[in-house]
Structure 1
Amino acid sequence: MTRIMLASVCLFWALVPSSLATAGERAGEREGKGGGGPVTTIYRDVAIIGGGAAGSYSAVRLREDFGVSVVVIEKDSKLGGHVNTWVDPATGRGFDAGVQNWIEINNASAFFARFGVAVQPNVRSVLDQHFIDFETGARLSNYTPPSAIDRSTALRKYLEVAEQFLPILQPGWWNFPPPSQIPADLLLPFRDFVVKYKLAAGIPQIFATTGFGKHNFMDALTLFVMRSFDVSMVRTLLGLDANFVPVSRKNQDLYDAILTSLGPDGLTSSTVVDAHRSAGNGGVELEVYNWATGGTTRVVAKKLLITVAPTEENLEPFHLHRDEKSVFDGLHYSTSVVGIVSHPSLPANASLVNIPATAQPDNWVAAVPSYPYNTRFENYPNSTYYRVIAVGDEAFDKDQAKNMIQGTFDRMVVAGTLQQTAPPQNLSFHLFESHGPVSASASREGVETGIIQKLNDLQGKRSTWYTGAAWSVHLTTSLWGFTDSVLPRVVASL
């Protein structure tokens, strides 16, 4: 058993063309009838698809800092995307299953201050680590994790190399070189990059921090690993950059405050069911259905800002053109499911870590399990609750994830690693949410045939702009930095 300090770290109204609205309709909002029920028509400068980290931030910045009218369309009943805050009904204490804390870059804490959400430095939890092969449920008897010195040395080397690529990786793809000029290191499978720079001692930490977002972590191109485990993350783990959490320990507080500020401009429990985007830059018209009320809103906007993952399912209502579809078809994703569980047999103040037996005694590159996998059971300090994360490929779903996590627990009981209660009982799942498609990546062939340049070329076409993790670094405050580079372009195009 090893005790380790865990850092759970994680960003002008123009005339609407007659094809979208009549002159009389431009005067304001109206009530009408359509689609078999009441239809409300609204007019906005920008319609934002998705109310996660990028969408909520975009709405605030556009409204408050650029004077642009917006509407946010979010399928969930609340904003916030991947924060996944659960509140214990017995104590009122909050537990975050998704986003754990926030890196202080791009003046991120000031964004919280706008909404009166007090923050404080994040205090890292010290947990006892138990190394267990989740395939068998047996505790590893001969595994030695990297020493603190070896781990730090590897992370510093990673940082030294990664910082060289900052100008072409952040804040987004804007400055990414043409295929013939891409640095060779970025096209290496990550396992080869690790060998080249002797980073093996850093692998358990890298994987535990952000690697669980990739189902093919060691085989992914280094380019895309650096989008998940970016320079800011490394600097935070090394104590070079600060990170913070809300004083309330409820990350959802920020997004609840944003939703309140948006008022009627936040359409939650809502989905775009059909869309028309003009061939040029003439605007968009969206049919939005509210699953809670059964009402329909017709949104007429000059620009569309898509912040959700650009998958076929998410973008089906927008009737993608061939050039858009060909680019998005070249992106591949993992699926991440997060949860909060409890069981009397789980040890207090502990993290049960999934380490394959082949990693013994110190083969740290082999410490990454094969997908699909459950990464760990991690105790929230001073509680009986545990955070779990299951990862698979694009077809992985919540039922598979739940069965996997329960199966892991059952194997640990059979192996004698845990003692089952009498009578036996299953895990209690208090929160269980899919993050859906995450960690967008492309094949080496796709990168070498210009998929990144093609992604850039889609920005602004057909009145449509994009932000979100598929276009930037995955960490929230880094993503906010990329979004800050997109929004002036959106405003200039109005």
Structure 2
Amino acid sequence: MLLSTLLWSSAAATVHASIDSVRIVRTIHKDVAIVGGGGSGAYSAVRLREDYGVSVVVIEKEIMLGGHVNTWVDPATGRGYDAGVQNYIDLANATAFFARLNVTTQANVRASPAQVYADFTTGVELTNYSPPAAADRTDALKRYLALAEQYLPVMEPGWWTFPEPVDIPADLLLPFRDFVIKHNLTAGVPQIFATTGFGIHDLLGSLTMWVMRSFNIDMVRTLLGIDAAFVPASRKNQDLYDAIQRLLGSNALLSSTVTKAERSEKGGVVLEVRSSVTGKTTRIVAKKLLFTAPPTNANMVPFDLDSIEKSVFGDFSYSATYVGVVSHPSLPANTSILNTPVAAQPANWLEAIPKAPFNTRFDNYPNSSYYRVIAVGDQTYTESQARQTIIESFDKLMAGGTITQTSPPEPLKFLSFEPHGLVSAYASREALESGFIQRLNGLQGRRSTWYTGAAWSVHISTSLWVFTDTLLLKLVASLR
């Protein structure tokens, strides 16, 4: 044991020899440094620490853990409104994870407000639109599920057994519009979009494998009543991550970002981490790095990528999503207004998907005067542009007569508005046919770095935890 400790200390010293020590106020040593405190990072920290006895530190740029949860709490009532993650699918004993953190859960039962369909580009209500009948929608979802189950072995958990380029199933490489037409799934499209598909800025143009990553079999099974969904009894999804934050204590470095990193195959990793609150820098010396944030160009700048890593991550593109809670006395009570292009009339469901950038809806929270909004665009879409999209859609609805302005006029009130992140990472068909998935998998464990997060698996939180569990087994084995 002493020999291995000496070897590790020597290797670590070699790795961080060039790190500037002048700005360092402290140095901490951990088995695993986790970058990103969202759903994957926070979950990984608990599993590694509590179940594998691995020491961890989490580096999170925001003021709290939780990532895409985006919970807003009404200061007047204390009631929570989840603008991001809406619920959790109960699989792989997910409720037990909440229970171990003393977060009480309950079945997710949500009232369905009346729905108004309006074209947000004109603001005019659609008076001749018929959404799919319930039976037709269910039949389409059942067909989708049967198809998705065929590809499950190569899609989940993760792409560990994804076929070589010449063997990729043709359906997975079809634009989703073509896949829908081929398999008569049109009646399911509005439901797919309304549930998770809105997180893809070009749903119908995206390759089917990326849609199946967002709208995966667990989501379909939940919609069909096969699996159940749950939420914290408090109706605040943030509660889980607040509990994890309390558990980790000082091992959660909040409002902090990595400014410099050195990684080696055998010598572990050394990170410089700066607090945006204190301005002070901490050095972290770790045996392994677990990266859970989206591997975007901006996020990867401090991590001294080599040519192989740059090539792989450079093939990723993203959608950008922003979520918030708004209010206005003109928005109708107990009603949600859904963005539906006029071309969808009378029942052209393939045309029911708005063109990016778009606001998906003004979605009324039951028994409240608050509304959820979701703005979606490509990876260049900014928060200010997203906010403007929301305002313009509201103004259009006013001008088009779908809603009526108060007297005197009032502006739309934003109670919260936050990035939901660069999501729905995807690569082109050409990249897939040149071995992108194999090259992506090849980065796992390389240069003492492991990866989890939605870019590496499915988007649904508890489904992603299943993938993360497979990854953590490999990471822990590499520590021995």
- TM > 0.5 between the two? yes
Q: How does 1:372-451 map to 2 (within 5 A)?
A: 372-451=357-436
Structure 1 residue 437 displacement after superposition: 1.1
Letter in 2 for 1:160: A
Q: Give the C-alpha shift of residue 55 in structure 1.
A: 0.1
Output the CA distance in 1 between the equivalents of 2:358 and 2:241. 30
Superposed CA offset, 1:337-379 (max 9, x none): 0010000000111110000000100000000011111100000
- The answer for the alignment partner of 1:74 in structure 2 is 60
Is 1:260 matched with 2:249? no
**1:124 Cα deviation from its structure 2 partner:** 2.7
**Partner letter of residue 487 of structure 1?**
L
SS in 2 for 1:86: strand
Deviation at 1:185, TM superposition (A): 0.6
Q: Which amino acid aligns with 1:424?
A: P
User: What is the deviation of 1:436?
Assistant: 2.4
Look up the match of 1:16: 8
The 5-angstrom pairing of residues 38-187 of structure 1 reads 39-187=25-173
CA distance in 2, matches of 1:405, 1:426: 12
* Structure 1 unmatched ranges of 5 or more: 1-11, 26-32
Give me the whole-angstrom Cα distance separating, in 2, the residues matched to 1:22 and 1:461: 18
What secondary structure, in the 3-state scheme, does the structure 2 residue paired with 1:218 have? coil
Counterpart Cα distance in 1 of 2:11 and 2:468: 30
1:234 pairs, out of 205, 215, 220, with 220
The answer as to whether partners of 1:371 and 1:392 remain within 8 angstroms in 2 is: yes
Q: Does 1:487 align with 2:472?
A: yes
Partners of 2:302 and 2:11 lie apart in 1 by: 18
SS of residue in 2 equivalent to 1:440: strand
The answer (yes or no) to whether the contact 1:112–1:254 under 8 Å persists in 2 is: yes
- One-letter amino acid of the structure 1 residue matched with residue 208 of structure 2: T
SS in 2 for 1:174: coil
Aligned position for 1:329: 314
Contact map agreement 1:281 1:461 (CA 8 A) in 2: no
The number of residue pairs the alignment matches comes to 474
CA distance in 2, matches of 1:211, 1:489: 31
| Cα distance in 2 for residues equivalent to 1:235 and 1:344 | 37
Q: Which runs of 5+ in 2 are unaligned?
A: none
In structure 2, what residue type is equivalent to 1:21?
A: A
Match of 1:192 among 178, 198, 219: 178
Secondary structure of 1:416's counterpart equals coil
Measured in 1, the distance between the counterparts of 2:83 and 2:22 equals: 39
Q: Which residue of 2 aligns with 1:28?
A: none
Q: Contact 1:42 / 1:297 at 8 angstroms: preserved in 2?
A: yes
The CA deviation string for residues 289-321 of structure 1, in whole angstroms up to 9 with x for no partner, is: 011122211000000000000111001000100
Letter in 1 for 2:408: P
User: Residue 45 of structure 1: SS of its match in structure 2?
Assistant: strand
Corresponding residue of 2:287:
302
Segments of 4+ moved more than 2 angstroms: 12-23, 33-36
Q: What CA distance in whole angstroms lies between the structure 2 residues aligned with 1:180 and 1:383?
A: 53
Cα deviation code 1:85-107 (max 9, x no counterpart): 11101111010000000000111
The reply to whether residue 341 of structure 1 matches residue 341 of structure 2 is no
Contact (CA 8 Å) 1:21, 1:300: kept in 2 or not? Answer: no
Q: Which amino acid counterpart does residue 177 of structure 2 have in structure 1? A: R
Structure 2 letter corresponding to 1:418: I
Mapped to 2, the partners of 1:51 and 1:315 lie a distance apart of 16
- Distance of 1:458 and 1:271 partners within structure 2: 22
State the one-letter code of the partner of 1:293. Answer: T
The counterpart of 1:366, out of the listed 337, 342, 351, is 351
Contact map agreement 1:74 1:268 (CA 8 A) in 2: yes
Tell me the percent identity: 62
Cα displacement (A) at 1:435: 1.9
Contact kept in structure 2, 1:397 and 1:434, CA below 8 Å: no
C-alpha RMSD over aligned residues: 1.5
Q: Deviations over 1:41-88 (max 9, x none)?
A: 000000000000000000000000000000000000100000011110
Q: TM-score, normalised by structure 1?
A: 0.94
TM-superposed CA distance for 1:22, in Å, is 8.1
TM-score (norm 2): 0.97
Contact 2:73 2:79 survives alignment (8 Å):
yes
Q: Are 1:457 and 2:442 matched, yes or no?
A: yes
